[in-house]
Structure 1
């Protein structure tokens, strides 16, 4: 069954009122989200499919070059070619790079190199990192963290003056009453909006339920229609139900334009809920995209934008590989490595100028 165009209340002789304009705006937003969400899911799937072939091999190659640099610095340190200030810098760079490569990329062959320059054994550090990760993901730890608040001193209720006790009891009764009133209002509104959807649904069901149809071809057609109707109802998709009503000649454009004030109010409530739910779905897929390609999730608004960012990441990594190859070539010459160390400063340490050639 072909899909209808965006469902709109048309403006004819009279200017649309506020509720009709809101209906149109919500309709447009839902159509936009219905188009965008599958597009973003497609973009995410494309990236996931390309990671093993386009990205992972480059990451592996880059990390292997980093490991080669660690070995170059280790050999240079062992050759004892530089003064202590440069040796200290080499030791720091070796331990920093080696730890990252061991902990996050599985380069266990670097463990002896790390231990040569570190006062703490690599296994001890890895055990500490694993323990921290387990603690952070432990639900009891999260609950405990959220519960840590400044201590509040409470005075015993029965020690308060009688007048103060009565005031507190009155406030508590009012709070309970107000809470029940709000719950009743919310339930009533929910029942009304649900009834709005059900009214449209039942109109369609009465006409297109296939069970009483004797003609087999018509029965098949109605079965297909009922599947669409049922799916839209289960998803609380009022917009799709209204589109089906028009599509199947259950209402015409004039009836849509002459919806009562109350009908429009409740239709708009349901459509707002639909927009909110779709926005959550969109944001979730945007955040999944962000975790893969680093694009700020708010900017993931089209397949093209996402794939361009992924391609940029791939090209940037290729450029990094080209650069690190040059570093390896240069640092194999001790004087070139020394020139770098002369300008390098260990984080947290004051810069010590060395004029030695």
Structure 2
């Protein structure tokens, strides 16, 4: 992806850039990189979605079907094959694990979900509905403890993080309002008074700086609006051109995008590139404050874009993904699922024979015991690092 970014402050031949000028150029470059990344997300995802829908999802349907076959095969074995109590317990555990994983799949219809939940309830001492309630209560308690709020009796939707964040924000706001209403004035020491006075002073200075920065953006927009107002043009083609430019300026001003406004000024030759080097240091600081906020907003937008992408395609929420990773993700996901499906088919064929089933249960149980022992050992060695 290529784009020309002519907006920068060039150093004079006899004088280096000031710190504020260097920061201005650095922020411009950072914002342009962030915008390029956002454009790459928008450009590459349609191709990713087509491949995901045509190559990966059919394999996922097949995987779900094979896992259901395996669960039903094991269920039949539990009813028809004489097993030791240890093997029975292992079999129940495996069936419940398979069903739990299947119930997170988006490919199942309501009838299949009902059948699987019934199968889970058959092999679990706790019903699926009760287990989900316990899981939700546990997560709710963890969220309440982490953020110091009460979410009340309202259920939380674990499949919709945005709804959970809205619910959490509302609870935190209500908690803050309650604390404000119930607080009582108390005597403060001189040290506390000085701290409060310093805090208020810093707050006022910050508010003044933000106001001045906002006025700088407003001033640029007014100059553009005065120059670009389409109603003052008699030529239809020029009126249409200025209408489009005015729309861009209005959108940039509304979103507080200083970079766009400055680039528009260059585009309509309202300023020259060399003019930026003549900006007063205070004015440049105001610009840098606005550009910094614009970059922070883009950072949040990028994080939200990446998180939404991972949520849409049920990818690892902890993985770091860039738009350039999309072809690799499809290739690796398809290859891994093809291998898993091949192994599941082989397992279904092999477990038809009771002796093979018993050997597999014994091996699985030993593997589970080993994993538990390793977890306990690591927990003892690193008690603060285990979750």
Q: Do they fold alike, i.e. is TM over 0.5?
A: yes
Q: How far apart are the structure 1 equivalents of 2:53 and 2:202? A: 53
Shift of 1:53: 3.7
Q: Which deviations, in whole Å up to 9, do the C-alpha atoms of 1:225-277 show, x marking residues without a partner?
A: 21222222222121122122222221212212222212211111111111111
- Contact 2:34 2:299 (8 Å CA) reproduced: yes
Give the equivalent residue in structure 2 for 1:224: 244
- Contact 2:52 2:330 (8 Å CA) reproduced: no
- Contact 2:252 2:260 (8 Å CA) reproduced: yes
Match of 1:300 among 296, 311, 321: 321
Give the equivalent residue in structure 2 for 1:109: 115
Q: Counterparts of 1:1-357 in structure 2 under 5 Å?
A: 5-14=5-14, 15-48=16-49, 50-101=51-102, 105=108, 106-110=112-116, 113-121=119-127, 124-125=130-131, 135-137=155-157, 139=167, 143=171, 165=187, 168=188, 170=190, 174=194, 177-291=197-311, 292=313, 294=315, 299-301=320-322, 303-345=323-365
TM-score relative to the length of structure 2: 0.73
TM-score relative to the length of structure 1: 0.78
The SS at the match of 1:135 is coil
Q: How far apart are the structure 2 equivalents of 1:5 and 1:286? A: 25
Shift of 1:290: 2.8
- Change in CA separation of 1:103 and 1:19 when aligned onto 2, cut-off 3 Å: closer
- Contact 2:51 2:330 (8 Å CA) reproduced: no
- Change in CA separation of 1:125 and 1:23 when aligned onto 2, cut-off 3 Å: closer
Q: How far apart are the structure 1 equivalents of 2:248 and 2:198? A: 41
Q: How far apart are the structure 2 equivalents of 1:170 and 1:212? A: 62
Shift of 1:103: 7.3
- Contact 1:289 1:295 (8 Å CA) reproduced: no
Shift of 1:26: 0.8
Give the equivalent residue in structure 1 for 2:376: none
- Contact 1:69 1:328 (8 Å CA) reproduced: yes
- Change in CA separation of 1:198 and 1:298 when aligned onto 2, cut-off 3 Å: farther
Q: How far apart are the structure 2 equivalents of 1:180 and 1:29? A: 32
- Change in CA separation of 1:223 and 1:93 when aligned onto 2, cut-off 3 Å: closer
Shift of 1:284: 0.8
Q: How far apart are the structure 1 equivalents of 2:125 and 2:248? A: 68
The SS at the match of 1:322 is helix
Q: How far apart are the structure 2 equivalents of 1:130 and 1:293? A: 20
- Change in CA separation of 1:346 and 1:212 when aligned onto 2, cut-off 3 Å: same
Q: How far apart are the structure 2 equivalents of 1:262 and 1:111? A: 66
- Change in CA separation of 1:36 and 1:6 when aligned onto 2, cut-off 3 Å: farther
Q: CA RMSD in A?
A: 3.5
Shift of 1:35: 1.1
How many residue pairs end up in the alignment? 331
- Change in CA separation of 1:13 and 1:86 when aligned onto 2, cut-off 3 Å: same
Shift of 1:281: 0.6
Shift of 1:220: 2.0
- Contact 2:56 2:330 (8 Å CA) reproduced: no
Structure exhibiting the larger radius of gyration computed from Cα positions? 1
